[in-house]
C-alpha cells in the first residue's frame, strides 16, 4: 500500500500523524469530510454547449450568495472553464493553507473553484482521460477548504458522459439537476436525453430553464423570438418535470459577460435579471418546502 503522503489538507484529519490510508482512500475520506458540511448539491447541465449553462449557473450562485446564503460554485467544465472569466477573477490562483486550498471569493459568501485557477496560461488546454478528470474533481471536492455551505452548484460540461457519472459517484447525495436549454427543437432533443440520463441515474430533475427565450427589439421595443419560444416549457410538461422559467436574450447581459463583468451587471429592472432572480426564488422555495 502506498502510504498517505500527507498533503496540506491532512491537517484537518484527526489521524494526521498515524494515518495509513493510501492516496485514493485518503482522497475519498477528505471529500466525504468536506461534503458533510455541504447542504444542497445541485448539478447544472445541458446536453449542448452554448445554451447558457455557465451564465445561468453563475447568476444563480451570485443571487443565492446575495441572499446571505453560503455558496460554492464548482466549475466542472474542465476543458472549457468559463466561471473565473465571468466573475472577473481569471488569473486568481487558489492559495494553499493549513486547512486546504483557499479558492477565490468573487463575492461575499461565494467560493469559486475551477480548473482555470490551476492553469499557468489561460490558453492551456486540458486533454485528460475520464479517469484523470475524476481524480482531479475528487481532489477539488476534498482539497478545497469549502467550509460550511448552504449550496454547492456544479457547472457541468456539456453532455451526459463521464463527468456526470463521476460527480454522481463522488458527491454521494445530489439533490437534483437543473437542465438548461434554448427553445429551438434541435436543442430540445438533447434536453430530453439529458432528462432521461438524470432519471436513469436516479437524479431528480429540479427543472428546465429556457434560456435565450425571446428579446425586445432594440428599435421598436416589440417582442422577437429568434430561437422560437416555449419549447423548454413544452418539453418540461411532456417529460413531467418542473419548468423553472424563461430567460430572455439580453444584449446588455451578453456585453457584460463578454467583458467578465458579471458582478457589475446589477440592473434589477432588466427582464433577464428578473427572470434569473425568479429561478433562484423557486430554488430557495423548493428547499423550504422540502
Ligand atoms: P454554455 O455554458 O451552455 O456553453 P454560456 O453560458 O457560456 O453557455 O453562454 C454562451 C454565450 O451566450 C455566452 O457568450 C453568453 O454570454 C451568452 N448568453 C447566455 N445567455 C444569454 C442571454 N440570456 N442573453 C444574452 N446572451 C446570453
Ligand 1 in reach of 52 Cβ (< 6 A): yes
Nearest CA to ligand 1 atom 27: 254
Look at strands 176-181 and 205-211 and give their pairing. Answer: parallel
Residue 35 lies in a domain: no
Counting residues of the chain whose pLDDT is more than 90, the rounded percentage is 53
Closest C-alpha to 158, from 181, 174, 140: 181
Q: Is residue 7 part of a domain?
A: no
Kindly state if the Cβ of 49 falls inside 6 Å of ligand 1: yes
Ligand 1: which atom is nearest the Cα of residue 247? Answer: 23
pLDDT in the model for residue 120: 79
Q: Tell whether 190 is covered by a domain.
A: yes
**Helix, strand, or coil (residue 181):** strand
Question: Ligand 1 centroid vs 50 CA: distance in angstroms?
Answer: 6
Query: What local confidence, expressed as pLDDT, does residue 286 receive?
Result: 79
Q: Which of 5-14, 158-167, 168-177 has the highest mean pLDDT?
A: 168-177
C-alpha 132 to ligand 1 mean position (Å):
28
Residue 280 falls inside a structural domain: yes
Say if residues 180 and 53 touch (Cβ distance below 8 Å). yes
What is the model's pTM?
A: 0.92
Atom of ligand 1 lying closest to residue 57 CA: 6
pLDDT of residue 215: 86
Q: Is 77 helix (H, G, I), strand (E, B) or coil?
A: coil
17-26, 42-51, 170-179: segment of lowest average pLDDT? 17-26
For residue 60, give the CATH number of its domain.
3.40.50.300
Q: What is the pLDDT of residues 126-147, one digit of tens each?
A: 888 888 899 999 999 999 999 9
CA–centroid distance, 37 to ligand 1, in Å, is 31
What is the Å distance from ligand 1's center to 7 Cα? 38
- With cell 429561478, the residue in question is 279
DSSP 283: H
In a domain, 29, yes or no: no
CA of 43 to the centre of ligand 1 (A): 17
Q: Where are the beta strands (DSSP E) in the chain?
A: 38-45, 71-75, 95-97, 100-102, 110-114, 149-155, 176-181, 205-211, 215-216, 223-224, 243-247
Stretch 187-211: mean pLDDT: 93
Inter-residue contact 139 to 167 (CB < 8 Å): no
β-bridge pairing 149-155 and 71-75: parallel
pLDDT value of position 3: 44
CB of 63 within 6 A of ligand 1: the answer is no
Predicted pLDDT of residue 1: 39
Tell whether ligand 1 has an atom less than 6 A from the beta carbon of residue 273: no
- pLDDT of 250-261, one tens digit each? 988 888 888 888
Q: Determine the Cα–Cα distance for residues 121 and 96; give it in Å rounded to an integer.
A: 19
Q: 195 — phi, psi (to 5°)?
A: -65, -40
Is ligand 1 within 6 A of the CB of residue 247?
yes
**Pairwise CA distance, residues 131 & 111, whole Å:** 26
> Would residue 174 count as lying in a domain?
yes
Distance 97 CA to ligand 1 centre (A): 34
Residue 28: exposure state from Cβ atoms within 10 A (0-12, 13-18, ≥19):
middle
Decide if pLDDT at 4 tops 70.
no
pLDDT, residue 31, reads: 93
CB contact set of 271 (below 8 Å; sequence gap of 6+): 216, 248, 250
- Residue with CA at minimum distance from ligand 1 atom 10: 50
Average confidence (pLDDT) over 4-14: 58
State if residue 187 touches ligand 1 by the CB under 6 angstroms criterion. Answer: no
Q: Is residue 5 part of a domain?
A: no
Q: Which residue has the cell 455541504?
A: 38
42-99 pLDDT, tens digit each:
999 998 899 999 999 999 999 999 999 999 999 999 989 999 999 999 888 888 888 8
Q: Which of 33-47, 85-99, 159-173, 226-240 has the highest mean pLDDT?
A: 33-47
Range of the domain at 168: 40-289
Indicate whether residue 183 lines ligand 1 (CB < 6 A). no
Render pLDDT for 99-117 as a digit per residue (tens, 0 to 9): 889 999 999 999 999 999 8
For residue 49, the ligand 1 atom closest to its alpha carbon is 4
Q: What is the average pLDDT score of the chain?
A: 88
pLDDT of 2 strictly over 50: no
Spatial neighbors of 89 by CB under 8 A, at least 6 apart, are 104, 106, 112
Per-position b or e across 221-230, b if 16+ CB within 10 A of its CB: eeeeeebebe
Question: In the prediction, which pLDDT does 26 show?
Answer: 81
How many structural domains comprise the chain?
A: 1
Residue 275 belongs to some domain of the structure: yes
pLDDT score for 90: 86
Q: Is 230 close to ligand 1, i.e. is its CB under 6 Å away?
A: no
Per cent of the chain over pLDDT 70 is 91
Cell of 78: 474542465
Amino acid at each position: 500500500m502506498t502510504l498517505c503522503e500527507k498533503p496540506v489538507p491532512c491537517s484537518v484529519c484527526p489521524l494526521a500523524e498515524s494515518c495509513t490510508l493510501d492516496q485514493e482512500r485518503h482522497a475519498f475520506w477528505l471529500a466525504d469530510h468536506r461534503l458533510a458540511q455541504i447542504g444542497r448539491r445541485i448539478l447544472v447541465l445541458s446536453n449542448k454547449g452554448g445554451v447558457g449553462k455557465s451564465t445561468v449557473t453563475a447568476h444563480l450562485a451570485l443571487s443565492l450568495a446575495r441572499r446571505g446564503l453560503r455558496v460554492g460554485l464548482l466549475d466542472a467544465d474542465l476543458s472549457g472553464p468559463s466561471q473565473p472569466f465571468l466573475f472577473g477573477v481569471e488569473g486568481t490562483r487558489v492559495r494553499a493553507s493549513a486547512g486546504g486550498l483557499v479558492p477565490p471569493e468573487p463575492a461575499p459568501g461565494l467560493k469559486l473553484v475551477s480548473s482555470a485557477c490551476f492553469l499557468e496560461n489561460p490558453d492551456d488546454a486540458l486533454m485528460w482521460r475520464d479517469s484523470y478528470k475524476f481524480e482531479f474533481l475528487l481532489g477539488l471536492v476534498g482539497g478545497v477548504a469549502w467550509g460550511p455551505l448552504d449550496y454547492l452548484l456544479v457547472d457541468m460540461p456539456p453532455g451526459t458522459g463521464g463527468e456526470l457519472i463521476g460527480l454522481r459517484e463522488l458527491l454521494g447525495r445530489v439533490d437534483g439537476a437543473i437542465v438548461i436549454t434554448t427553445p429551438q427543437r434541435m436543442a430540445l432533443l438533447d434536453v430530453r436525453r439529458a432528462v432521461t440520463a438524470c432519471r436513469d441515474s436516479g437524479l431528480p430533475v429540479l427543472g428546465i430553464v429556457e434560456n435565450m427565450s425571446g428579446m425586445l427589439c432594440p428599435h421598436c421595443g416589440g417582442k422577437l423570438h429568434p430561437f422560437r419560444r416555449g419549447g423548454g416549457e413544452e418539453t418540461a410538461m411532456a417529460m413531467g418535470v418542473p419548468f423553472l422559467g424563461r430567460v430572455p436574450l439580453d444584449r446588455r447581459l451578453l456585453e457584460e459577460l463578454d467583458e467578465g463583468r458579471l458582478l457589475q451587471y446589477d440592473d434589477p429592472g432588466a427582464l433577464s435579471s428578473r427572470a434569473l432572480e425568479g429561478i433562484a426564488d423557486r430554488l430557495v422555495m423548493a428547499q423550504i418546502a422540502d
